Structure 1
Amino acid sequence: MRQVPETVVALFVRAPVPGRVKTRLAVGLGEVGACQLYQAMVADILGTLKATGLPIFLFHDDKESGALPQVWRDAAAQVRPQWGEDIGERMAAAFADCFAQEIEQVILVGSDIPDLGPRIIGAAREALATHDAALAPAVDGGYGLIALKRQQYRQELFTDIPWSTNQVLPATLQRFAACRLNVALLPVLRDIDTLADLLAYRHHPCPTASATNQAIAQLLPQTGAGREHEPHR
């Protein structure tokens, strides 16, 4: 009889195909460079998740046979496709998939967050002992981690949210309140979507994100590289 884990980490990834992944970063790094950086970020996050000892469920958008690296597949307890039109539908489907397997707690994370460390995953797990859910806000107004219990899952937490705007977090918190679910807020994370994000991260890099930091050093080797693209403040 298969043993069902109590808690898993659902990691959302995109197949690392130049021109399809991190397109906004490609403006400054080129399509190949943006893809290389993305692969480095995934490598660091997989290392972080392995260190927690929790099973990794890899949810991917691989539409091309063989585009998903084997090393990613090997790191995962399960490899599952993403389903849905927008990110909300895809996250809701991933939670529903895990909870249908009678897993009690799911911590869902993105794959472009070098700041994501074992402590954040541990904090999310601890928060679920006293809360219905946990969220790690993102600098851009969204969130980079969401953790839920099986009994508290509601599909409406992911519907009619203004995705890709700075209103994602407040709208989601309003939805939690409407569902009468209490949520713990974890430390703020920075995801890397644009060159401005990348430059901000480079000024305050995560010391444990070695693959990401090495890739950035190779892609932006000069201290002043990219500053002409940095927005005025």
Structure 2
Amino acid sequence: MQTTRTLVMIYSLAPSRQARDKHVFGSRNQQAAVTLFDRLEGRIQSVAGKTGLPMMIIHDHQQRGTTFGERYAAAFTQVFSLGYDQVISVGNDIPALSEHHILLAKEGLDSGQTVFGPSRDGGDYLIALSKSAFEEKSFASMPWRTDRLHEALLLLFAKTSPVNCLEYLVDIDSAEALVDSMTQALDFIFRKFLRALLKSLVKIEFNRTFQLNSLPLLFAGPRRAPPQITPYMH
């Protein structure tokens, strides 16, 4: 029997798959994208480790199911079956995610809440659920990978528990999202890595999915605070 009730589950596509699917730097710069997502995955493992909570890394292809929702729901079921009764799930593509966000989610779970971290594309970068609030079939049927996901999750879980939301963060799905992420509070080490990676790409002819006129934004510091959200309480 587990002595720690809560586990951090890093659930995502493998870095090589993300690089292939997202074309952040254009189709001719896949190796740079692999480098980016490898670094992001290493970063989120470090962030999760700093919380002191047990951690499990699960890639999408390791789960059963024909849809993303079925595979993601199966991952939660797998963790709950190990004896944990609280799961904080995060992706590996959120540059501004810190251990503070994960610990806030744990505080919410410990007080009986379901906690979400909304992303600016309408999804969620963090989903924190208790075993008692989770039902695999309804969770799998959510509109995953659409801009309706966050609102659908709020409606589903508000039926059974208080729901709370963290601040908005950006997940990296495109060149534009990468630009947007640089307006948030990134840690110094990752910002330094990203600047070096981008400078190396300046020497390469960017294709039209990543325009050179975006670079001044990428080398700037945070310019605005993330939008505020009022906690959604049942």
Taking structure 1 as the reference length, the TM-score comes to 0.78
Distance 1:59 1:4, change over 3 A: farther
Cα separation, partners in 2 of 1:217 and 1:229, compared to 1, 3 Å: closer
- Give structure 2 stretches of 5+ with no counterpart: 203-209, 216-234
For 1:59, what is the secondary structure of its paired residue? strand
Alignment partner, residue 171 of structure 1: 152
1:89 aligned residue (47, 70, 85): 70
Deviations 1:97-139 (A, max 9, x none): 1111121211011110111101101100000122341111111
CA distance in 2, matches of 1:91, 1:169: 15
Instruction: Tell me how far 1:10 sits from its aligned partner.
Output: 0.5
Q: Pairwise mapping of residues 73-152 of structure 1 onto structure 2 (< 5 A)?
A: 81-152=62-133
Moved more, 18-27 or 50-59: 18-27
Does 2:177 align with 1:197? yes
Misfit runs of 4+, over 6 Å: none
Equivalent pair of 2:10/2:92 in contact (CA under 8 Å): yes
Aligned pairs (5 A) from 1:2-13? 3-13=2-12
- Confirm or deny that 1:44 pairs with 2:43: yes
- SS of alignment partner, residue 191 of structure 1: coil
RMSD (CA atoms): 2.4
Q: In the comparison of the two structures, how many residue pairs are matched?
A: 206
Contact 2:123 2:150 in 1 (8 A): yes
- 1:188 — aligned with what? 168
User: What whole-Å deviation, never above 9, does each CA across 1:193-220 have from its counterpart, x for those lacking one?
Assistant: 1000111122334125x2x423421232
Displacement of 1:20: 5.5
Cα pair 1:42 1:111 within 8 Å, conserved: yes
* AA at the equivalent of 1:45: I
List per-residue Cα deviations over 1:114-170 (Å, max 9, x = no partner): 111011011000001223411111111100011111122112442332222211111
Alignment-mate amino acid for residue 160 of structure 2: R
Partner of 1:76: none
Partner SS, residue 24 of structure 2 = helix
Give the fraction of aligned pairs with identical amino acids, expressed as a percent: 30
> Where do 1:8-87 residues align within 5 Å?
8-17=7-16, 21-27=20-26, 30-61=29-60, 81-87=62-68
The residue type paired with residue 202 of structure 1 is M
C-alpha separation between the residues in 2 aligned to 1:180 and 1:187?
22
CA distance in 1, matches of 2:170, 2:73: 22
One-letter code aligned to 2:45: L
Structure 2: distance between partners of 1:55 and 1:134: 18
The TM-score, its normalising length taken from structure 2, stands at: 0.78
Alpha-carbon shift at residue 229 of structure 1 (Å)? 6.0
Once the two structures are overlaid, the 10-residue window that deviates more, 35-44 or 22-31, is: 22-31
Structure 1 gaps of 5+ residues are 63-80
Change (3 A) 1:200 1:7: same
CA distance in 2, matches of 1:61, 1:173: 23
